[in-house]
């Protein structure tokens, strides 16, 4: 293999370059990224950057030392076997890493709406979060909650409009999400409320009603950025379909990060995880696969969110119908465990209880059964349950 092309210069793209070099690949590598920036981390965009504690979050990676040919501001437009068509012409490859991530879903309407995906988005939004500004955040998911945190901290008058019956409904279910509702103190939280469209001056609600806003932030989720692959002879289904080695349906093509839907041996299902830890870890396996080594991607997925002064961490993969057991009261530090039918731990969510997260992740990895009577006692360490 002489030339590897990596499309997408986010975390998973740059980690792919690093992993290829770390495994001794000495051929040519081209890294294509449609943003004008060098690779950066996204989690700080809704935290330290939005709060004004940092102005950037560039990944500490020396592209020159990695001897990578970096093409910023260049987009891939199409793929056929052996070549990527870009806005700067066609580029042949022997190996290809698809790392194009995800892009925010927008609401209908002609009014201005902010999203939060890029460094530029974050800096633009930050400039609008000034004392007294009326800010409407659409969606009380992970991003919506973090934006509401920053807007409240900046002294804005914040309305959060959520279609579900509780914050985080889509991510963790309404019952658990309801435990976070009291964090929204001082915010006009409208639950069970759907936005019809974004208009000049605010948002129209389904069934009538209008929320006045100087700033509208849409945080209703993302979709895998795979439009450029629409005509490629490649399996796409909720992202780029891969096997457990992160191999796609095309030879010598792997996919990583937010855009990849990989087969999980551990959970016996296909997973697409839109979180930082996956973008960090998957490229090791993808690089090995591309270089003909045997490697399997089979992590217990992990992510965190920082909202309203709380550290929320999640590990595992839960499914509807699994039993939820709580440890601790919602007013303090608490966690929640999803138990599968045989009392093995499927997932854990910890609020300001990092030990539960670390121990829970290990328990999930090991597949141990838990004693539910001990589990409900937050004073019993999770590893002893």
In the set 70, 228, 262, 308, which binds ligand FAD (CB under 6 A)?
228
C-alpha 52: how far from chain center = 22
| Per-residue interface string for the shown chain with ligand FAD, residues 302-321, x marking contact by CB under 6 A | -xxx----------------
Kindly list the distances between the CA atom of residue 243 and the CA atoms of 19, 223, 270, 296, in Å, as whole numbers in the listed order: 19, 20, 9, 9
Q: CB of residue 51 vs ligand FAD: minimum separation in angstroms?
A: 12
Q: Residue 239's closest CA among 247, 252, 227, 231?
A: 227
In the set 7, 107, 198, 261, which binds ligand FAD (CB under 6 A)?
7
| Per-residue interface string for the shown chain with ligand FAD, residues 96-125, x marking contact by CB under 6 A | ---xxxx-------------xx--------
Binding segment toward ligand FAD, per CB under 6 A, in 181-189, 193-201, 268-276, 348-356: 268-276
Query: What are the phi and psi torsion angles at 249 (to 5°)?
Result: -80, -5
Site for ligand FAD in 29-68 (CB under 6 A): 32-35, 42-43, 45-46
Q: CB of residue 373 vs ligand FAD: minimum separation in angstroms?
A: 32
For residue 202, the number of C-alpha atoms closer than 13 Å in the C-beta half-sphere is 13
> Which helix H or strand E contains 200, and what residues bound it?
none
Rg over CA atoms, the chain? 22
Q: CB of residue 78 vs ligand FAD: minimum separation in angstroms?
A: 9
In the set 143, 156, 160, 286, which binds ligand FAD (CB under 6 A)?
143
Binding segment toward ligand FAD, per CB under 6 A, in 6-14, 315-323, 334-342, 371-379: 6-14
- Is the alpha carbon torsion for 145, 146, 150, 153 positive or negative? positive
**Considering the rule CB under 6 A, would residue 297 count as an interface residue with ligand FAD?**
no
Q: CB of residue 275 vs ligand FAD: minimum separation in angstroms?
A: 3
CA angle 234, 239, 240 (to 5 degrees): 35
Kindly list the distances between the CA atom of residue 268 and the CA atoms of 208, 234, 265, 276, in Å, as whole numbers in the listed order: 44, 22, 5, 22
Could you tell me how many residues of this chain bind ligand FAD (CB under 6 A)? 36
Q: Which residue has the tokens 């995880």?
A: 273
Distance CA 45, CA 125 (A): 10
Q: Which residues bind ligand FAD (CB under 6 A)?
A: 7-13, 32-35, 42-43, 45-46, 75-76, 99-102, 116-117, 143, 225, 228, 257-258, 274-277, 279, 303-305
């Amino acid at each position: 293999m002489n030339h590897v092309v990596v499309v997408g210069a986010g975390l998973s793209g740059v980690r792919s370059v690093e992993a290829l070099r770390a495994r001794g690949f000495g051929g040519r590598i081209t890294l294509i990224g449609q943003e004008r920036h060098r690779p950066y981390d996204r989690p700080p965009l809704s935290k330290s950057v939005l709060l004004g504690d940092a102005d950037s979050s560039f990944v500490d990676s020396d592209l020159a030392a990695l001897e990578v040919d970096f093409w910023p501001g260049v987009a891939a437009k199409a793929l056929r076997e052996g070549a990527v068509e870009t806005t700067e012409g066609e580029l042949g490859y022997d190996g290809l890493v698809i790392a194009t991530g995800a892009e925010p879903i927008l609401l209908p309407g002609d009014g201005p709406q902010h999203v939060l995906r890029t460094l530029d988005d974050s800096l633009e939004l930050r400039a609008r979060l000034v004392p007294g500004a009326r800010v409407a955040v659409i969606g009380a998911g992970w991003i919506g909650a973090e934006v509401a945190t920053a807007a409240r901290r900046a002294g804005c008058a914040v309305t959060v409009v959520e279609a579900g019956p509780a914050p985080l409904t889509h991510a963790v279910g309404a019952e658990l999400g309801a435990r976070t509702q009291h964090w929204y103190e001082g915010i006009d939280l409208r639950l069970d409320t759907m936005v019809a469209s974004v208009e000049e001056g605010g948002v129209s609600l389904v069934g009538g009603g209008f929320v006045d806003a100087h700033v509208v932030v849409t945080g209703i989720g993302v979709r895998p950025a795979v439009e450029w692959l629409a005509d490629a002879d490649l399996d796409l289904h909720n992202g780029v379909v891969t096997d457990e080695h992160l191999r796609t349906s095309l030879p010598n093509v792997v996919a990583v990060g937010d855009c990849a839907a990989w087969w999980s041996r551990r959970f016996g299902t296909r997973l697409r995880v839109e979180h930082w830890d996956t973008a960090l870890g998957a490229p090791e396996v993808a690089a090995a696969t591309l270089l003909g080594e045997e490697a399997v991607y089979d992590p217990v997925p992990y992510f965190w969110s920082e909202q309203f002064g709380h550290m929320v961490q999640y590990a595992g993969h839960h499914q509807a119908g699994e039993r939820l057991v709580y440890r601790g009261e919602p007013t303090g530090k608490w966690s929640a465990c999803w138990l599968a039918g045989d009392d093995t731990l499927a997932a854990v969510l910890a609020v300001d209880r990092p030990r539960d997260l670390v121990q829970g992740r290990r328990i999930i990895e090991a597949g141990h059964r838990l004693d539910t009577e001990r589990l409900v006692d937050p004073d019993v360490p999770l590893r002893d349950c």
